[in-house]
Amino acid sequence: RLLIIDFGSQVTQLIARRLRELHVFCEIHPFNTVDDAFLDEFKPKAVVFSGGPASVFSEGAPRPPAKVFEIGVPILGICYGQQVMMDMLGGKVERGHKTAEFGRAYVTPEAEKLDLLQGWFATDKEQVWMSHGDHVSKIAPGFKVYGTSPNAPFAITADKDRHFYAVQFHPEVHHTPNGAKLYENFVRLAGFKGDWTMSAYREEAVTAIREQVGDKQVICALSGGVDSSVAAALIHEAVGDQLTCVFVDHGLLRKNEAEEVVGMFCDHMNLHVIHADETELFLGKLEGQSDPETKRKIIGGLFIDVFQKYADQIDGAEFLAQGTLYPDVIESVSFSGGPSVTIKSHHNVGGLPEKMGLKLVEPLRELFKDEVRALGAELGLPPSFIGRHPFPGPGLAIRCPGEITREKLDILREADAVYIDQIRKHGLYDEIWQAFCAILPVRTVGVMGDGRTYDFACALRAVTSVDGMTADYYPFSHEFLGETATRIINEVPGINRVTYDITSKPPGTIEWE
């Protein structure tokens, strides 16, 4: 295993990601949990020091244990990791706003002289991403310089004998286009074969879940989304019937969704799933409400109440399973108030663990979305399920601007089903991040056959995105849009007008509310 010691960089997870892409198994541990005993137990084959926001000059500056330099394994220090390495091994770090560098820089390397750089530099100047205030001003004894940038005379340094490498830039980020090569060289020279796979991850995760849970009961709010589904499948593999899933059906799901999700998990995967059909409760409380935030708050609050009600019926539940992914985890280390771990409050069950006195099982905390999909496939979830577009916790409520009525929900479900069917038939589903229909709170006049209609209008939405933070509308062909509009109007009573939403995000959001 490779050990990444986290000094609180925002991009530490990307180091892990790059290493997993190289099929190397690694674990990230915050610096304050890594001591001599930890190293003895972990027995890393190589160590990476992440970057971090601190300065080696600040009081209580984070440091690895000195022992890490004595266990005879290769070490790669990134940015702050470089500075702390130099500081501890006898070099010098200086402050200086003049030498601070943030953003793109170009390094001139001496590639041929260092194993770490083999095959990396295509040209004599390679783009890298810098982000540092302090800088190394004198390298430690035994080190040599193998690359410089205008503001970082020690951009790449190494002690070849001890296999200690230290770079000022961030090779893990996108803006260091060829940075992956550096990691590849590092793991090869550390002796990793690169034979770690998702199936190995699965086995390791199963063992870890068993250790954590023991013979206790686990509950899980299954939403039918990819993350909670993969988490549930994995935990089920680990502890079988000790896992009970609660599928909260708020009556705001898409056509056939509840049956499909419950059917798949109960019948296909043999999980214990409680289908909590609370449609009446949710729709009752939403009656007459048209303000988006009020609607969201009602749904969020009821969700927690309902989940708790069902969970209370499960004897001895001690753990709550969540499909938290790496990007959801802000596991950065805080330097002002001492080391702490902050986790973004997640979806609908954010406050539950404390309220119910539950401990968390989060087996996907180290993974990115596409890795979760790969793990889902490994666990036997059908591809069509794993590749599903995201669906928001508040469901169709936020696709039904204004007051929610059963009539509107029914119409929306039908229109959405036709739209998605069209997208699938045209082979576009996987090209689109998210597609759905919204029903507008307006009726318009139309003519069908010889008669006048006065029905609802709907809006089609389809966006491309990487992470949902920004998005662009999908450029459907006019033929596709025309055909889809015709189908919806012909097949869905209650709709006589179809529009296409071409707003990007920002300034729009993906959902309508």
Residues in the site for ligand XMP, rule: CB under 6 A?
347, 390, 392-394, 434, 468, 505, 509-511
How far apart CA 84 and CA 73 sit, in angstroms, is 17
Report, in Å, the least distance between residue 465 CB and ligand XMP: 8
DSSP string, 381-435: --HHHHTPPP--TTGGGGGS-S---HHHHHHHHHHHHHHHHHHHHTT-GGG-SEE
Q: Is the peptide bond before 150 cis (omega within 30 degrees of 0)?
A: no
User: 3-state DSSP call for residue 253?
Assistant: coil
How far apart CA 409 and CA 399 sit, in angstroms, is 9
Using the minimum distance from each CB to ligand XMP, give the nearer residue, 77 or 395.
Answer: 395
Strands annotated E in 250-362: 272-277, 317-321, 329-330, 342-343, 359-361
Using the minimum distance from each CB to ligand XMP, give the nearer residue, 216 or 505.
Answer: 505
Spot the catalytic one: 26, 135, 163, 172.
Answer: 172
CB 243 within 8 A of CB 218: yes
Report, in Å, the least distance between residue 494 CB and ligand XMP: 24
Strands annotated E in 286-383: 317-321, 329-330, 342-343, 359-361
CB 209 within 8 A of CB 233: no
170 is catalytic: yes
Q: Residue 451 CB: number of other CB atoms within 10 A?
A: 7
Using the minimum distance from each CB to ligand XMP, give the nearer residue, 58 or 509.
Answer: 509
Report, in Å, the least distance between residue 511 CB and ligand XMP: 3
Using the minimum distance from each CB to ligand XMP, give the nearer residue, 196 or 473.
Answer: 473
Report, in Å, the least distance between residue 225 CB and ligand XMP: 7
User: Looking up tokens 């190397």, which residue turns up?
Assistant: 24
Using the minimum distance from each CB to ligand XMP, give the nearer residue, 135 or 365.
Answer: 365
How far apart CA 5 and CA 18 sit, in angstroms, is 15
Using the minimum distance from each CB to ligand XMP, give the nearer residue, 416 or 511.
Answer: 511
Using the minimum distance from each CB to ligand XMP, give the nearer residue, 74 or 323.
Answer: 323
Token representation of residue 89: 């091994």
Report, in Å, the least distance between residue 125 CB and ligand XMP: 39
CB 429 within 8 A of CB 444: no
DSSP secondary structure code for residue 333 in this structure: P
Report, in Å, the least distance between residue 114 CB and ligand XMP: 44
Residue 104, CA distances (Å) to 80, 128, 154, 175, 389 in order:
17, 6, 16, 7, 34
Report, in Å, the least distance between residue 467 CB and ligand XMP: 9
Report, in Å, the least distance between residue 436 CB and ligand XMP: 8
437 is catalytic: no
Spot the catalytic one: 132, 163, 170, 275.
Answer: 170
CB 452 within 8 A of CB 446: yes
* 55: amino acid identity, one letter: S
User: Which candidate, 227, 344, 251, 246, places its Cα nearest to that of 304?
Assistant: 246
Using the minimum distance from each CB to ligand XMP, give the nearer residue, 22 or 230.
Answer: 230
**Using CB atoms within 10 A of its CB, is residue 88 exposed (0-12), middle (13-18) or buried (19+)?**
middle
> What ranges in 136-197 are assigned the alpha helix state H?
179-189
CB 29 within 8 A of CB 4: yes
CB 99 within 8 A of CB 135: yes
Using the minimum distance from each CB to ligand XMP, give the nearer residue, 16 or 510.
Answer: 510
Using the minimum distance from each CB to ligand XMP, give the nearer residue, 77 or 394.
Answer: 394
Report, in Å, the least distance between residue 390 CB and ligand XMP: 4
User: 3-state DSSP call for residue 201?
Assistant: helix
CB 54 within 8 A of CB 80: yes
Report, in Å, the least distance between residue 505 CB and ligand XMP: 5
User: CA torsion 291→294→295→296, rounded to 10°?
Assistant: 120
How far apart CA 157 and CA 155 sit, in angstroms, is 7
Residue positions annotated with a catalytic role = 79, 170, 172
